Amino acid sequence: MNLIIAEKPSVAVSYAKALNVTARKSGYFEGNGYIITWCIGHLAGLANAESYSENYKKWSLADLPIIPDNWQYVISEGKNKQFEVVKKLMNDKRVTEVINACDAGREGELIFRLVYEKAGCTKPIKRLWISSMEEKAIVEGFNNLRDGADYDSLYQSALCRSKADWLIGINATRLFTKLYNKKLNVGRVQTPTLAMLAERGAKISGFVKEKYYNVKLNDIAVSEKFTEQAEAENVKTSCNGQKAVVTSVKREKKTVNPPKLYDLTSLQREANRLYGFTAQQSLDYAQSLYEMRCITYPRTDSRYLTEDMSDTVKAVITALIDNLPEFEGIAGFKGNLNRVIYNVKVTDHHAIIPTAEVATAKLDELPDGERKILLLIANKLLCATSDKQEYEAVTAVIECGGNSFTAKGKTVISDGWKSIERLIKGDSKDETDEAEETTLDLTEGQSLENTVCAIAEQYTKPPKAFTEDTLLSAMERAAIEETAENTERCGLGTPATRAGIIEKLIKSGFVRREKKSLVVTAEGAELISLMPDVLKSAQLTADWENGLAQIADGTLDPVKFMSEIEELTRAVITEGKSNVNPDKVAKYEPKGAAIGKCPRCQANVHETPKAYSCACGFTLWKNNKFFENAKKPFTKEIAAALLKDGKVALDGLYSQKTSKTYSAVVCLEDKGKYINFKLEFPKKA
C-alpha cells in the first residue's frame, strides 16, 4: 500500500477524490490501495536556540555566535497530534512506499523531508510533481511519479536556506537586542527590504522641490524646461502672436507586444494597482482558487507555458469565452499560443492560468476577491495570446521666434490585445499604461499664424513612496545584476515569501500602510541605522540564491555553503560589537525600575507606563484581558511574583459568569508567541 503525504488537508481531499479514496479516518483517508494523510504546513522545523543548551535561555553576548554542531528539529507548536498520525502511518507495516505529494517546489520538499526524517522513516520515496489541482492533472501526476532521490539536491538547497536564515536571524537578533537593550528583529530578507523602504523614506523627507517653467504654443507644443522665469517670459514675448513654422514631422509605425502571462509577483502587483489588494490578499485569493481547482499553482516565478500544454490551453480559452460574460464580445477568439510557450523558461512550475474547471465551475458564486483575481488571470491569458497593438507615433518640431517647440501625437491603427484588456480594466488607467491617443494633424512646412503662448509653472516631484506593487518589483529586481543568469530565483525573497515579509514588517511596527503606500516608521528607520551594511544589502541575498541554485543543481557542496554562512555570522557578530553607537545605547536604556528576571532570557524585566517588559520581547501588558475581566489591577507586585515563581495566589478575582468574587492561584503560561494566564484552585479537603 502507498502512503501519500499532502501539504494541507484541503489538498488531501482533492487527492482522495481524484484517486477514489473514500474512507475517512482520524487524520487520513484510506482506500483503493492508498492511504492519504497531510501535514499542516510546516509540521517540523528547526529547534530554537534554547534546545541546544540551557545557557541559551539567557541572551548573552558572550554566547554569540550560536552555531549548532548537530542541528535539531522539533514538531511545530500545536501540531503534535497530526504529526503522530503521519508518523504512525509512515511506520505502518502495510505501507511499502511513501509519496511526497507536498507542493512541487523547494519549501514543499523541505516540509516533507523534515517530517520523514523526524518520523524515522526509511521507506522508499516517490515524488508527485504537478502544477494543477484538476482531477485529470492529479491522476496523470500519480501515474507518472518520479523517484524521490531525484530531489535530494533540492532538499539540501531548502535545508541550507532554512539553516542559514536561522543562523543570521538568531544571532543578529540577539546581538543587536543585547547591544541596544531593545528587541531588534533581524532577518536576511526582512532587513534589506526594510532598508529599501527607509532609503526611499529618507529621500522623500529630504526632498527639496525646485520650480521650473515650460512655454506652451497653441496648447499643442511645448518648449524645453527653463529654471528661470525670465527665460520663459522672453520666449513667450518673442513668440506670442507671431507666425510659427512646422520644420519637421516624423511619423513612426510602432507596436506594443502582448503582455506575458502572470507569475505570482506580477499578479500581486497588478491586483494592487487595480484593486488595492495587498500582496498577501492576492496570494490568499489565488491559493483559494487553486484549491478550488480553478487556476494552476500560484507560487510560481515563470511567465510561460510548455509545449505539451497546447491542447489544454486552447480548451481553457474556449471555456473562458463561453462561461465568463465579461468575454462574450470576443466569441470565436482562438489565441496565438506561440506567444506564451517557451519550455526553457519554465522551472518548477509554469505561469498561472485558469484550468479547464472553469467550463463547469459556478463562477458567479465565487467571493468578490477570488472572482477579481480569476478575471485578471483569465484576461491575461487572452491578452497574452492576442495580437500586437499597432499605432502611429507623430513627433513634430515647430520653430517660432528662434525657439523650438515639440508636439507629439499618437493614432491607433489596430488595438489588438488592448481591446481585450479593457474588458476587465474598462477605461481605468494606471501608471503602466501607454499615453492616450491624441491626434496631431500637422504637415512639414505648415505655417501657424498668430500663435498663442502661455507659461506653465511646475515643480520637480519627490520620489513616490513604495506601494506593494512597486516594492514587490524592487524586491524582485534587487541585486539582479549580481545574480547568475541560471539562478532560478533572484532578488529579495521568493514569489511565495515576499507577501509574508511585507506583512511581518508591518506587524513588527517597522512599516505602516498609508492608503496604498508603504511607509517606514521611526522605529523601522532606527533599526536600519543600527544595522551593518552586509545585512542591509540585497547583495547578501543574491549571493545566497546563487549558492542555493548551485546546491539544487548539484554543482555546489552544501557543507561549503554552510561554512561560508557560519563565517558570515561570525563576521556580523564581530562588526556589531566593534561598532556600537553609544548615543543609541543611551537612548534605549530602560527607564523603568527592574521588577524581576525574564523567564525567557534571564535579563531584567522593567516597568514601563504600559507594560512590564524585557528587551528580548517578553511583555506583560498592564491592560491585558485576563486581569481586566477579573477586575483586578495588574500591579507591579503581582508581576514580580509571577516572574519569580511563575504563579501568584490572589483574592477578590471577579467571575463574569457568576458575578461573584473568588480566590485562585494565577499561573503564568508562556507560549512563546503569546502569554496566557491559567487558574489553579486548592483541592478541597
**Burial readout 246-272 (b: 16 or more C-beta within 10 A, e: otherwise):** beebeeeeeeeebbbbbbbbbbbbbbb
Q: How confident is the model at residue 201 (pLDDT cuts 50, 70, 90)?
A: very high
597 has which bridge partners?
A: 604
297 catalytic per annotation: yes
In-domain check, residue 433:
yes
Backbone phi, psi, residue 251, to 5°: -115, 130
The per-residue pLDDT of the chain, averaged, comes to: 90
Please give the average per-residue pLDDT across 13-19, as a whole number.
93
Is residue 224 domain-shared with residue 298, that is, in the same domain? no
Higher pLDDT, 534 or 354: 354
Is residue 396 domain-shared with residue 348, that is, in the same domain? no
pLDDT value of residue 5: 97
pLDDT value of residue 487: 45
Q: What is the pLDDT of residues 23-53, one digit of tens each?
A: 999 999 999 999 999 998 889 999 999 899 9
In-domain check, residue 650:
yes
pLDDT value of residue 349: 83
Is residue 111 domain-shared with residue 253, that is, in the same domain? no
Final residue in a domain of this structure, among 562, 583, 604: 583
pLDDT value of residue 457: 95
pLDDT value of residue 592: 75
Task: Please choose, from the candidates 549, 615, 448, 618, the residue with its C-alpha nearest in 3D space to the C-alpha of residue 158.
Answer: 549
CA–CA dist 59, 64 (Å, integer): 9
Number of domains forming the structure of the chain:
5
Q: What is the pLDDT of residues 530-549, one digit of tens each?
A: 898 888 888 777 788 788 88
Is residue 311 domain-shared with residue 449, that is, in the same domain? no
pLDDT value of residue 435: 58
Q: What CATH number is attached to the domain comprising 434?
A: 2.70.20.10
Q: What is the pLDDT of residues 440-493, one digit of tens each?
A: 889 999 999 999 999 999 999 999 999 999 999 999 888 665 444 444 445 788
Is residue 9 domain-shared with residue 150, that is, in the same domain? yes
Is residue 289 domain-shared with residue 358, that is, in the same domain? yes
Question: Cβ contacts of residue 84 below 8 Å, gap of 6+?
Answer: none
Is residue 395 domain-shared with residue 248, that is, in the same domain? yes
pLDDT at 114 over 50: yes
Final residue in a domain of this structure, among 409, 442, 459: 459
Q: What is the pLDDT of residues 598-612, one digit of tens each?
A: 888 778 899 888 889
Please give the average per-residue pLDDT across 361-379, as a whole number.
93
In-domain check, residue 588:
no
In-domain check, residue 132:
yes
pLDDT value of residue 582: 87
pLDDT at 673 over 80: no
In-domain check, residue 167:
yes
In-domain check, residue 378:
yes
352 has which bridge partners?
A: 262
Comparing 170-184, 305-319, 608-622, the range with the smallest average pLDDT is: 608-622
Higher pLDDT, 598 or 371: 371
Q: What CATH number is attached to the domain comprising 194?
A: 1.10.460.10
pLDDT value of residue 345: 84
Other beta carbons within 10 angstroms of residue 145's beta carbon come to 17
pLDDT at 66 over 80: yes
In-domain check, residue 354:
yes
Is residue 241 domain-shared with residue 377, that is, in the same domain? no
In-domain check, residue 685:
no
DSSP one-letter code for 669: E
Is residue 450 domain-shared with residue 524, that is, in the same domain? no
Is residue 559 domain-shared with residue 624, that is, in the same domain? no
Quote the domain boundaries for residue 627: 594-680
Q: What CATH number is attached to the domain comprising 329?
A: 1.10.290.10
pLDDT at 433 over 60: no
Please give the average per-residue pLDDT across 610-635, as a whole number.
88
pLDDT at 382 over 70: yes
Final residue in a domain of this structure, among 364, 384, 404: 384
CA–CA dist 655, 88 (Å, integer): 43
pLDDT value of residue 494: 81
Please give the average per-residue pLDDT across 370-394, as a whole number.
96
pLDDT value of residue 562: 95
Is residue 122 domain-shared with residue 13, that is, in the same domain? yes
Is residue 290 domain-shared with residue 348, that is, in the same domain? yes
Catalytic-labelled residue, pool 297, 304, 391, 588: 297
DSSP assignment of 88-108 = HHHT-TT--EEEEES-SSHHH
